[in-house]
Amino acid sequence: MSGSLARRTLSSLGFALVALYSLAPFYWMTVSAFRRPQDQFDNTIIPVRWSWENFSAVFSGDNGFGRALLNSLVVAGGTTVLTLLIGTVTAYALARLDFRFKNAVLGLIIATTMFPGISQLVPLLKLFTDIGWINTYQAMVVPSLGFALPLSVWLLTAFFRQLPFELEQAAMVDGCTRGQAFRKIIIPLAAPGVFTTAILTFIAAWNEFLIALSMVNKKEMQTATVAISKFTGVSGFDQPFGTQMAAGVIVTVPLIVVVLVFQRRIVAGLTAGGVK
């Protein structure tokens, strides 16, 4: 009994340490956002005086942070929608159809993730300059799509493979075409996997920085992550740590809320097929 209690205690202690390690940066960012600009170098665990100055400064002046948030929503949303449309069809074909070199194709798709994203910026920048895509949404969506698709195809292929093929056969016996069986039977059953892929893709596209920084040089087209890096502070001359912390809280909180609300679906999608 004592051994079991010791293991539970060690497990609880381990979980607590992991949680503390993961949440400490977010906590420090939050308390720093609520410090007054003149107290931004104060190292107290709790601010001596709480202030909303940094949050008001985020949307004041010519920061353009509201437009930057909209740009991030457009880029992340567009990337997510296109990733689901292309990745779902591709994963279904890899999971259900029999053709030569199918495993090689899947391996090649995953192998593309081994290339560092920064190594692709220069050729992409040259290409987009030649075709006139600089300072456009597609210049940010297309590269993000290339980075998000391999993971989505891998996750969805594993999910489709654990769905019984007899479901589609029964639907086709009842008069459905393969496309109708896929749309009316498979997609609803694959909702946890699709939803998980959507959340992971949206978070990755929302937090993306290098592509948005390289492909856009107009202020009205920059995303929230780029806008945060260019803040000048409350007065325009001081260190912008407090303003950046406040903007970081504004950008991070919606993602935390989404993950907390849909955590069961996310876990179900990530663990689907694990027992098999």
Cβ atoms < 10 Å from Cβ of 155? 21
pLDDT value, residue 12: 87
Alpha-carbon distance of 276 to 271, in angstroms, equals 10
For residue 272, what pLDDT band results from cuts at 50, 70 and 90? low
Per-residue pLDDT of 249-258, as tens digits, reads 999 888 888 7
The CA dihedral of 32, 33, 35, 39, to the nearest 10 degrees, is 60
Cβ atoms < 10 Å from Cβ of 140? 31
Alpha-carbon distance of 165 to 169, in angstroms, equals 7
Per-residue pLDDT of 89-123, as tens digits, reads 999 888 888 888 888 888 888 888 788 878 888 89
pLDDT value, residue 260: 80
Per-residue burial over 86-120, b = 16 or more CB atoms within 10 Å of its CB, e = otherwise? ebbebbbebbbeeeeeeeeebeebeeeeeeeeeee
Enumerate the domain spans of the chain: 64-230
Cβ atoms < 10 Å from Cβ of 139? 24
Q: What percent of the chain stands above pLDDT 70?
A: 91
pLDDT value, residue 274: 47
For residue 175, what pLDDT band results from cuts at 50, 70 and 90? confident
Q: Which helix (H) or strand (E) holds 118?
A: none
Whole-structure pTM value: 0.85
Superfamily of domain 64-230: MetI-like (1.10.3720.10)
Which residues neighbour 158 within 8 Å (Cβ) at sequence distance 6 or greater?
272, 273
Length of the chain: 276
